[in-house]
């Protein structure tokens, strides 16, 4: 005699979602860990134009200098003398990143040089000055 197996009806079949959810959570954790967060300056400045301006890829700290000489880091105004400590702390979070200084076209050169000096004293070698690409 031949034994027959009875299969459950198709509407009773269940799909186990646990392995798929595990993979989704692992991918989410991977993307969170590998993401580098950018510290925006928090103020909009009118940067000067330069024909040789090129995009900077690895910047994660932005410092803005307004036309009236205010220095902004991480969406708040800071004293120019405290730039060194703030940049050192932010740079410790992502040592591979660099700093972009967004100086207004009307800002004084003295303030720009002072901020650049404080950034270098903080141990950051990758410093760039933001400029808009000029017309070609």
pLDDT at residue number 124: 87
Non-local (6+) Cβ contacts of 63 within 8 A are 41, 71, 72, 73, 83, 87, 99, 100, 101, 102, 115, 119
> How many Å apart are CA 42 and CA 59, to the nearest integer?
15
Q: Domain residues for 121?
A: 49-133
pLDDT at residue number 136: 56
Write the CATH number for 67.
3.30.420.270
pLDDT at residue number 2: 65
pLDDT at residue number 79: 92
**Residue 114 within a domain:** yes
**Residue 7 within a domain:** no
**Residue 37 within a domain:** no
**Residue 101 within a domain:** yes
**Residue 15 within a domain:** no
Q: Is the pTM of this model over 0.75?
A: no
**Residue 34 within a domain:** no
Q: Could you give the number of structural domains in the chain?
A: 1
**Residue 95 within a domain:** yes
**Residue 107 within a domain:** yes
pLDDT at residue number 115: 93
Q: Is 49 helix (H, G, I), strand (E, B) or coil?
A: strand
Which of the residues in the chain have pLDDT under 70?
1-4, 6-12, 36-40, 57-58, 134-136
Beta bridge partners of 73: 63, 76
């Amino acid at each position: 005699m031949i034994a027959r197996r009875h299969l459950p009806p198709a509407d009773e079949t269940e799909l186990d979602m646990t392995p798929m959810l595990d993979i989704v959570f692992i991918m989410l954790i991977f993307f969170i860990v590998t993401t580098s967060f950018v510290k925006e300056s928090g103020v909009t400045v009118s940067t000067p134009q330069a024909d040789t301006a090129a995009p900077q890829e690895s910047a994660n700290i932005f410092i803005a200098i307004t036309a009236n000489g205010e220095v902004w880091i991480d969406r708040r105004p800071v004293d120019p003398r405290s730039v060194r400590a703030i940049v050192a702390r932010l740079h410790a979070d992502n040592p591979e990143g660099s700093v972009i200084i967004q100086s207004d076209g009307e800002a004084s050169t003295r303030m720009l040089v002072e901020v650049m000096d404080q950034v270098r004293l903080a141990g950051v070698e990758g410093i760039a000055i933001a400029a808009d690409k000029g017309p070609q």
